[in-house]
């Protein structure tokens, strides 16, 4: 066996059998150090689990750290013990349900936040979190966000923790239907951030996509980068141009206005400024950030600046070549019309952002934006004013996209504005709780998990990782909450001691479940894919299934 305290050692176990009842008694002390049948101690197991999931170290880095502590171990064993750590944590969490429920009762109940994440064609990982205690209460892997798959998950949560005082989630049809089925009388709200994002995408996507394709078709960015490279080389070789550039930079740094700059340096700065469009973004992503639209606006600004130059300077070769690139895209009449419509839509959409006081145009919180600390009554009044404004009504009469936007607002109106909830905790104390306006608490959790895996593996794609990921991995985030740790340990001094109290048979049962799922999803599918004439066989089976259904109806 191997532990930190002793290092590698041989354990000689003497087992005693009762002559009367034939019961076998083994060493209790040894199995407090390491699980029965396992080579590595609980201290090694916990060290590996924390190193993988909290410190985001690679298996190779963990192996090197353990070698320095006189713990010989293979890469494969480290991965296996990482899985075991999650299973032990999940079982300890399950055994702590009663105490978690007591904490929730003291808080006046729990607000259930639901969300799912995935990577390309990996299964959906759905997590449920209580936003009052910040505790992840359950997780499940789903083939898709279909209500039929989400309903059993919510029923289990209801069985374990009772009904929440409110639910918060995105606008997915599956979640909406599942929540309504399992928690029909519970206050149900949708995330303001997701709501705005969906409205913005529907409103802006058509014209924005047209703009994006036009910029790519005309190769505007590659052309500008090529011109910048040529100009940089030209300036580096010419002493006077280099002096002009340095002088301009110095004067700008000192805050003074420069009235002396060569056309080459002007063009150099114009191109840099156009290509620096991303600096104008706030980190929200589309539709809140419109990178290609900002880029196009900067092209227009530089074109207008060139037109202010004397005709002689406009004919300078560097200015002419830049202007040619600008004209190739800015003189496209069809694109001009699309951008005009897009500008009007952006104006309307940003008014709604202002009304909802979230993901504001000049905001700096990016994806962590939970919205301004404004009371719901004020937000409701502002959104009502926006909804009934003459400008929006006129826009809806002219363009069907605005009608769809208003229809979306009306559809989810009752789920948008969560009034403070008055509840009584387990001690009879009156508590007023304001549900969070966003589901960003779970979005942040998923980003944290993905960031950790990317750091550990060095890979941008996490498709394979998510396919093999144990569903309860998000419980790791609970280990950062002191109140949760107190509940989980239940009087034990450490995770090692707590895990030693878990029945090793339960751990093996869970490991067997995971191994069976992995085996089925790999070996059997691979075997099917080798079948000759598979497409025709699938078509035949599909037709047969359809015929049977038709017959039964």
Q: Helix/strand/coil (H, E, C) string of 507-533?
A: HHHHHHHHHHHHHHHHHHHHHHHCCCC
| DSSP symbol at 123 | P
Q: Is the pLDDT of residue 340 over 70?
A: yes
Q: What residues are paired with 40 via a beta bridge?
A: 2
pLDDT reported for residue 260: 67
Where is 307: in which H helix or E strand? helix 291-307
Question: Residues near 167 by Cβ (< 8 Å), separated by ≥ 6?
Answer: 111, 112, 113, 114, 179, 183, 186, 187, 188, 189
Domain ranges of the chain: 2-95+488-502, 207-329, 504-553
Q: How confident is the model at residue 487 (pLDDT cuts 50, 70, 90)?
A: very high
Q: Helix/strand/coil (H, E, C) string of 235-271?
A: HHHCHHHHHHHHHHHHHHHHCCCCCCCCHHHHHHHHH
pTM above 0.75, yes or no: yes
Write out the DSSP string of 192-244: HHHHHHHHHHHHHHHHHHHHHHHHHHTTHHHHHHHHHHHHHHHHHH-HHHHHH
| CB of 367 closer than 8 Å to CB of 286 | no
Q: Is the pLDDT of residue 264 over 80?
A: yes
| 430-464 residue pLDDT tens | 999 989 888 888 988 888 888 888 888 777 777 77
For the beta carbon of residue 278, count every other beta carbon within 10 angstroms: 11
pLDDT reported for residue 520: 40
Residue from 386, 205, 220, 366 nearest 290 by CA: 205
Identify the three-state secondary structure at position 432.
strand
- Out of 89-98, 338-347, 520-529, pick the least confident: 520-529
Residues 486-501 as b or e (16 or more Cβ within 10 Å = b): ebbeeeeeebbebbbe
| 406-416 residue pLDDT tens | 999 999 999 99
Q: 477: buried, middle or exposed (CB in 10 Å: 19+, 13-18, 0-12)?
A: buried
| Cis peptide leading into residue 287 (ω within 30°) | yes
**Structure tokens belonging to residue 164:** 């929440």
Question: Nearest 5°: phi and psi at 25?
Answer: -115, 125
Q: Is the pLDDT of residue 483 over 90?
A: yes
């Amino acid at each position: 066996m191997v532990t930190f305290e002793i290092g590698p050692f041989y354990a000689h176990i003497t087992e005693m059998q009762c002559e009367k009842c034939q019961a076998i008694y083994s060493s209790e002390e040894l199995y407090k150090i390491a699980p029965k049948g396992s080579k590595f101690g609980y201290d090694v197991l916990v060290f590996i689990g924390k190193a993988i999931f909290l410190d985001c170290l690679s298996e190779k880095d963990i192996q090197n750290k353990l070698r320095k502590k006189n713990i010989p171990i293979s890469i494969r064993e480290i991965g296996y013990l990482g899985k075991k750590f999650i299973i032990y944590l999940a079982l300890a969490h399950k055994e702590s349900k009663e105490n978690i429920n007591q904490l929730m009762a003291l808080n006046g109940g729990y607000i259930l936040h639901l969300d799912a994440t995935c990577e390309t064609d990996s299964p959906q990982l759905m997590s449920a979190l209580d936003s009052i205690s910040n505790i992840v209460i359950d997780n499940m892997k789903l083939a898709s966000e279909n209500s039929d798959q989400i309903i059993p998950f919510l029923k289990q949560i209801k069985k374990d923790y009772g009904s929440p005082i409110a639910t918060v989630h995105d606008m997915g049809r599956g979640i909406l239907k599942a929540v309504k089925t399992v928690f029909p009388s519970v206050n149900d709200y949708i995330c303001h951030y997701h709501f705005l994002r969906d409205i913005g995408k529907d409103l802006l996507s058509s014209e924005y996509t047209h703009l994006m394709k036009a910029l790519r078709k005309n190769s505007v960015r590659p052309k500008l980068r090529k011109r910048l490279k040529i100009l940089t080389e030209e300036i580096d070789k010419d002493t006077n141009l280099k002096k002009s550039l340095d002088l301009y930079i110095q004067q700008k740094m000192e805050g003074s206005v420069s009235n002396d700059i060569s056309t080459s340096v002007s063009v150099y700065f114009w191109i840099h400024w156009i290509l620096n469009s991303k600096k104008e973004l706030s980190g929200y992503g589309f539709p809140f950030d419109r990178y290609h639209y900002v880029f196009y606006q900067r092209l227009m600004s530089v074109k207008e600046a060139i037109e202010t130059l004397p005709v002689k300077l406009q004919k300078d070769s560097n200015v002419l070549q830049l202007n040619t690139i600008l004209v190739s895209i800015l003189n496209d009449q069809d694109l001009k019309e699309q951008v005009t419509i897009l500008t009007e839509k952006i104006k309307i959409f940003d008014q709604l952002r202002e009304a909802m006081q979230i993901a504001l145009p000049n905001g700096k919180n990016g994806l962590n934006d939970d919205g301004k600390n404004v009371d719901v009554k004020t937000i409701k009044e502002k959104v009502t004013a926006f909804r009934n404004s003459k400008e929006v009504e006129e826009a809806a009469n002219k363009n069907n996209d605005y009608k769809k936007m208003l229809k979306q607002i009306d559809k989810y109106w009752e789920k948008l504005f969560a009034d403070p909830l008055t509840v009584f905790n387990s001690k009879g104390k009156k508590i007023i709780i304001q549900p969070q306006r966003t589901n960003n608490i779970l979005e942040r959790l998923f980003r944290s998990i993905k960031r950790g895996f990317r750091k550990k593996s060095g890979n941008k794609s996490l498709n394979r990782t998510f396919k093999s990921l144990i569903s309860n991995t998000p419980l790791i985030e609970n280990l950062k909450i002191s109140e949760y740790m107190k509940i989980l340990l239940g009087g034990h001094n450490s995770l090692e001691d707590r895990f030693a109290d878990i029945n090793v048979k339960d751990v093996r049962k869970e490991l067997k479940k995971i191994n069976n799922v992995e085996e089925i999803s790999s070996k059997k599918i691979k075997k099917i894919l080798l079948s000759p004439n598979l497409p025709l066989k699938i078509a035949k089976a599909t037709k047969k299934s359809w015929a049977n259904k038709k017959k039964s109806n």
